[in-house]
Amino acid sequence: MNYMHRIQRPFVVAAATLALVEDVWDDRFDLENPDRDVERDIIRDPAPMTKVDDIKKTLEDIDNVLNKRD
């Protein structure tokens, strides 16, 4: 409704179907949070473990990568 008012067009209530409103809401969310979408596309594998002392960091990196991949 705000968009239609902004572009000076009449708002038709019958045109506001649930599917249309959901699409608009999803697009708005994507526009407001571009960083999240970029992070999902770029998931880097963790660096190989070079020393046994780095096991905690390596396990945390693996856990983070797996959590990002859903």
Quick: pLDDT tens for 23-59: 877 777 766 666 655 555 577 788 888 888 888 888 8
Position 3 confidence tier, pLDDT thresholds 50, 70, 90:
confident
In whole angstroms, give the CA distance from residue 21 to residue 10.
Answer: 16
pLDDT of residue 41: 57
In whole angstroms, give the CA distance from residue 55 to residue 39.
Answer: 25
In whole angstroms, give the CA distance from residue 38 to residue 40.
Answer: 5
pLDDT of residue 65: 80
- Two tokens at 61? 């990196």
pLDDT of residue 38: 54
In whole angstroms, give the CA distance from residue 24 to residue 26.
Answer: 5
In whole angstroms, give the CA distance from residue 63 to residue 33.
Answer: 23
